Amino acid sequence: MEVEATPRRRSAFVTGAAGGIGTAIARRLHADGLDVTLCDLASTAERLDDLATTLDGPALARACSADVTDRAAVEAAVAAHVEAFGAIDVMVANAGIAITAGLLETTTQQWDRTMAVNVRGVFNCYSAAARQMVEHGTPGRLIGAASVAAHRAGKLQGAYSASKFAVRGLTQAVAQELAEHGITANCYSPGVVHTPMWESIDAALASRHGTPVGSEMSAMVASIPLGRLQVPDDVAGVVSFLASRDAAYITGQSLVVDGGMWFS
């Protein structure tokens, strides 16, 4: 009698996994039963190691340090993921940074850093993962962090919004190119999520307006129809869906998850 081979567990590589949304995504995908690589900057290595040890269950979790702006480092990290788990099914290019500055204040260095992390970083992650997916015949998922600011830019968000519009553009092109390999590419577009990123935006706005720290973030609630700030798990659930088999026929999209601030 022929013995059926045990199906390989799916796996996901999550960047920015030490941050607010990235940690929630990594936890959720692991709970969904995927083996996960938790990737972030070397400066967060201890936090990532701790997170990896808290994720128990049948699925595995491993930590890895890589700067997403460094193409060779990302390729090596994705190759190590494939070595550990046999293939890569899901790439979540989540790492990102935000600056809060108007056109006349934004320095060349701020502009270049924003583009390097938010755009080149996603390009590096998509391309490294797609190369492995094509080589292994994996019908994979490329998932990138965009933003509601990728649909409608706001004041003091020029560099950030431009970078997130670019993520949507890249995702649309890649979705068309890789469809013949059964690979989909989509992004998620959160609104105002309470994470260290929004805490730094709040601090920048508070110092600019002379308002108390925390007040700028809470003031955003008035513009959110669902009436509360977003939490990282609100985003993680959407990424879980995009990574799931139920989302197999969705590609090239930006899924806005913002409590109703913007209708795409």
Nearest Cα to Cα of residue 27 among 68, 61, 58, 77: 61
From the list 14, 20, 90, 128, which residue makes contact with ligand NAD (rule: CB under 6 A)?
20
Candidate list 198, 236, 239, 254; residue touching ligand NAD; CB under 6 A: 198
Looking at 137-260, list the stretches that DSSP marks H as alpha helix, in order from N- to C-terminal side. Answer: 158-178, 196-209, 215-219, 232-243
* Binding of residue 260 to ligand NAD (CB under 6 A): no
Q: For the segment 130-149, give every residue that binds ligand NAD (CB under 6 A).
A: 145, 147
Nearer Cβ to ligand NAD, position 60 or 116? 116
What does each C-alpha distance from 98 to 115, 134, 195, 228 come to in angstroms? 10, 32, 12, 22
Residues 6 or more apart whose CB falls under 8 angstroms from that of 160 comprise 98, 99, 100, 114, 118, 147, 149
* Between 138 and 151, CB nearer to ligand NAD: 151
41 three-class SS: coil
Binding mask 145-184 for ligand NAD (x = CB under 6 A): x-x-------------------------------------
Exactly one of 195, 251, 253, 254 binds ligand NAD (CB under 6 A); that residue is: 195
Task: Confirm whether 126 is a catalytic residue.
Answer: no
Binding mask 99-118 for ligand NAD (x = CB under 6 A): ------------------x-
Q: x/- binding map, residues 58-97, to ligand NAD, per CB under 6 A?
A: ---------xxx------------------------xxxx
Query: Which CB, 31 or 41, lies closer to ligand NAD?
Result: 41
Taking the complex as a whole, the smallest distance from the CB of residue 250 to ligand NAD amounts, in Å, to 19
- Residue 91 forms beta bridges with which residues? 13, 142
Give the 3-state secondary structure of residue 244. coil
Q: How far is the CB of 38 from ligand NAD (least distance, A)?
A: 10
User: 137: buried, middle or exposed (CB in 10 Å: 19+, 13-18, 0-12)?
Assistant: exposed
Angle at 134 between CA 10 and CA 171, to 5 degrees: 85
Cβ proximity to ligand NAD, 138 vs 256, nearer residue: 256
- Residue 82 CB, shortest distance to ligand NAD, in Å, is 19
Q: Name 65's Cβ contacts closer than 8 Å, sequence gap at least 6.
A: 39, 40, 41, 42, 44, 45, 48
Which one of 196, 212, 214, 260 is in contact with ligand NAD (CB under 6 A)? 196
End-to-end CA distance of the chain: 54
Among 12, 13, 14, 22, binds ligand NAD (CB under 6 A): 22
CA distance 81 to 23: 18
Distance, CA of 220 to CA of 264 (rounded, Å): 19
Please list the active-site residues.
Answer: 160
Where along the sequence are the contacts to ligand NAD (CB under 6 A)? Answer: 15-16, 18-22, 40-41, 44, 67-69, 94-98, 117, 121, 145, 147, 190, 192-193, 195-198
